[in-house]
Structure 1
Amino acid sequence: MAFVQLAEGELHYQLEGPEGAPVLVLSNSLGTDLHMWDIQIPAFTEHFRVLRYDTRGHGKSLVTEGPYSIEQLGRDVIALLDALGIQRAHFCGLSMGGLIGQWLGIHASERLQRLVVCNTAAKIGTPDTWNSRIEMVLRDGSAAMVALRDASIARWFTADFAAANPHQAKQITDMLAATSPKGYAANCGAVRDADFREQLSLIKVPTLVIAGTEDAVTPPAGSHFIQSHVRGAEYAEFYAAHLSNVQADAAFSDRVIKFLLAR
């Protein structure tokens, strides 16, 4: 296992793929860890040096006092790049990872080559929704994480995919039950407070926006909004719920690779 030392603790990461290849950073969704990208690694490492990490509060990374902010999580990415001597990289983030990508595109574009934001929006949900979830998780701890895991199958995957791939769906949703309640609640605060609707036009790097047709968490309308406000942004949509990278699998990977390799 590899870790980068931040001021407050360690950030867990994995670096795979050919040395000298362009670096592609993968950023996980709320309630998962870097293994949510496992299905993409064989295809991505054919072309890229893939750097994936557990967002603060998730997996094996540090858990600090919350609430967090997307700026804080974005600066963690910059610290990771700095520690590994990586000046510029492609970035692909899903859901909360897509919010981190938007922040990087707005505030640290000099560190990015190309940007992919998936199953996300410039603003996700309402404060009331996030506050009630934070309250439940901090009150009920691990029991709340198990309840969220059980409810997440319907949010993260379409019913037909979950029925046809129960083992794969369980592997992903089990990540949620294993997430630190304190870390999860702190990240909920980051998502709650993020709103990039007035800043998207500041993103100047080539951008691809990916949506899932059946995504009730971040519906395609939010992805269309991002595309329409980022000059020249491309758009792709797959039959999927919230975790389109898992459900669309090879089609998702192929579309991302095609975009990142474009001249």
Structure 2
Amino acid sequence: MEQLDRIIEQDDIKRCIIVLDAHDNYLEDEYQFERAMRFLPLNIQRRILNKRGDARNTALCNQLLQLITCSKFSKLPRQMIEFSHSEKGKPYLKNSTGLSFSMSNSDSRTAIYMKRTQGHSDVGMDMASTKDCQRWESNYLDLFQDIFSSEEYSFLRRAPRGDIRDKLFTHYWSLKEAYTKYTGTGLNCDLSRLDFGEIKAASLEEFREHISILDGKSFLFLSKWLTENSIVTVCDGPLTGSDESSSISVVELNVRTIVDNLDSMK
């Protein structure tokens, strides 16, 4: 948490991704689960309790992460944090301006992308995992052909089967879904229309920048592998001549740290 606090105090850092392991066993303790739940409104608690198995802990972690990061970035006490939703269902911080966020769950992790903005600005983020590809049949690419442009599909077909193709597929998926999170349409759109062409592979060491023109506007995409299997992509835009640096920080937290910090905000 100290790393996140230092980042928040640095005004020149505009972008930050905070990642939480939703299955670190802390919430398997019934007392700790109940302790974590009491920070949330009753309607949210009921929604979480309606889920089963790992999905319940993931949903709880998603809400805890949203609450702690929005409280810290806005400098508002957790009790004053209020969320609302846009017409397309995107959540936003109701009682604070200058902050935009997007969330995603994948491969036992939940993450939030926070961006300092001037007024309201849409953002999108997606995490995706190659483990999905490994669960499918070897010809999975043919089943998903409709979501790719002809150039993207041809590029994927030329990639060797196995790890290389799986990573390219997962990278493309995270790019497309990050944009649909930005627009708020979800996957209810023609994904093949989102044409990223032949992409350069992202890495574990640094974010890969990709600028794409979609719907006549320029958008910035930043992608990075968090682990060997899991990639994260954020989407910002539309770009203007005054857009700031594309630098971005990544912080990893655990559930205990978040619960202890929320408990101290009395």
After TM superposition, the score normalised by the length of structure 1 is 0.28
Greater radius of gyration (CA)? 2
> Normalization by structure 2: what TM-score?
0.28
Query: Which structure shows the bigger proportion of residues in helix conformation?
Result: 1
Structure with higher strand content: 2
